[in-house]
Amino acid sequence: MQPRGPRLGMVAGEASGDVLAAELLCGLRQRWPALAAAGVAGPAMQAQGCTAWWPSERLAVRGYVEVLRHYAEIVGIRRALRARWLHDRPDLFIGVDAPDFNLPLAADLRAAGVPTVQFVAPAIWAWRPERAALIRRACDHVLCVFPFEPALLAEHGIAATFVGHPLAAVIPRQPDRAAARAALGLPADTPVVALLPGSRRAEIAHLLLRFLAAAQHMRREQPRLAFVLPAVPHLHDAIAAQVAATPAATAVRVLRGQSHRALAACDVALVASGTATLETALFQRPMVIAYHMHPLSWWLTRRKMRQPWVGLPNILAGDFVVPELLQEAATPAALARETLAWLDEGDSARARRAALQARFAALHQTLQRDTVALAVRAIEPLLQRGPAVV
């Protein structure tokens, strides 16, 4: 009879978390081939053998008002997971990003003797520093994707390890623009703009039409421009239908996934604030960061912010290295103007692009580590310990 492998409870709350969790799960299964995992999972995790009791997209909500609309469903999922895992305790719980969902769940499981890990530290250095107390109560260990985070968490008595950012290992140091364009059927000499309006339904609702209107503004200025819009697979058809109903339909090509290929192929990206901004930076592409949400959500979010930036490239640089157009500032005309500025062929614009590329290349080097190996090494003592008898 084969020995039983470790049993993991896992929760990833959106497309980017699903990818991170899948990479980690692959490494853990190499170390423990009989490992089993179940919980809230997206397609990438499921491809690695994780059983999805709920799909990740059910938790892909951002903004206070938007969360309230789905509050009953989200809380119901968390209660069901808590009851199931307290009745049949896993050897380890791993929450991937989604801290508002994962930390309260992890705190309850840890109190019951289940070891807990949070992969991606909540950004207490950017906003909501009061969460440090909950992290300390909820997590046996935090896997950090940015190098300054372990020391910051240590100040609050939280054990943490910098494991690098998995995207830095996946994205090549020298993206092949020509190969990406060939794969997408794009001409080599056509200026290409990538439109990334987010992976959540609320983001699409607030940003897609703004981005499409901005594309129309840009086409009037530069008729040769081509646009690619990589859509997360479960929203592809809805996004394609919205694009088809606008004047931008003839200029914008909607892709099913393929965000990395779109970023490799493009000259500049118009991108929603979030993980996609870091992906764009690792592809060394100029960008304009945009965001828009319900006015009440925006007002509450602004009150919690500790820094003047919202985009990860700017936060990590400590400066506005790329433009941010948020809320009322995110008009189609302004989005178009700032995006076209990156395509200017003047000497100052060329120097600006070169400086940004050098900065992003240095960031890539900083973040690139053997993430999975470091994460497995940090997790192994907790898996060896297993659930405590309480």
Beta bridge partners of 72: none
Mean pLDDT of the chain: 90
CA distance 346 to 328: 30
CA distance 235 to 381: 39
Q: Which fold has domain 7-164+369-385?
A: Rossmann fold (3.40.50)
Beta bridge partners of 326: 291
C-alpha dihedral (26, 29, 33, 36), degrees to nearest 10: -110
pTM for the full predicted model: 0.78
Nearest CA among 166, 128, 154 for reference residue 44: 166
Q: What is each CA distance from 238 to 140, 205, 231, 313, 322, in whole angstroms?
A: 41, 11, 9, 29, 30
**Token digits for 205?**
């609702």
CA distance 122 to 140: 14
CA distance 336 to 343: 11
| 3-state SS class at 79 | helix
> Residue holding tokens 């931008």?
248
Q: What does DSSP assign to residue 305? A: B
Residue 295: its pLDDT value, please?
Answer: 67
pLDDT above 80 for 4: no
CA distance 340 to 287: 10
- Specify the pairing of strand 160-162 against strand 92-96: unpaired
pLDDT above 60 for 69: yes
Using one digit for the tens of pLDDT, what is the confidence trace for 35-62?
999 999 999 999 999 999 999 888 865 5
Q: What is each CA distance from 310 to 53, 123, 125, 169, 319, in whole angstroms?
A: 33, 11, 12, 24, 11
Beta-strand runs (E) in the chain: 7-12, 36-41, 51-55, 92-96, 116-119, 141-144, 160-162, 192-196, 226-231, 252-256, 268-272, 287-291, 324-326
Q: Compute CA 220 distance to the chain's CA centroid, rounded to the nearest angstrom.
A: 32
Query: Taking residues 107-128, what's their average pLDDT?
Result: 90
Using one digit for the tens of pLDDT, what is the confidence trace for 155-176?
999 999 999 998 898 899 999 9
**Under 8 Å between Cβ of 239 and 207:** no
pLDDT band at 1 (very low <50, low <70, confident <90, very high): very low
Domain boundaries, the chain: 7-164+369-385, 170-367
CATH of the structural domain 170-367, one choice from 3.40.50.300, 3.90.320.10, 3.20.20.70, 3.40.50.2000:
3.40.50.2000
**Under 8 Å between Cβ of 229 and 257:** no
- Same-fold call for 7-164+369-385 versus 170-367: yes
Using one digit for the tens of pLDDT, what is the confidence trace for 229-286?
999 888 999 999 999 999 888 899 999 999 999 999 999 999 998 889 999 999 999 9
Residue 275: its pLDDT value, please?
Answer: 86
**Under 8 Å between Cβ of 234 and 199:** no
Residue 62: its pLDDT value, please?
Answer: 54
| 3-state SS class at 100 | helix
Beta-strand runs (E) in 277-387: 287-291, 324-326
**Token digits for 338?**
């700032």
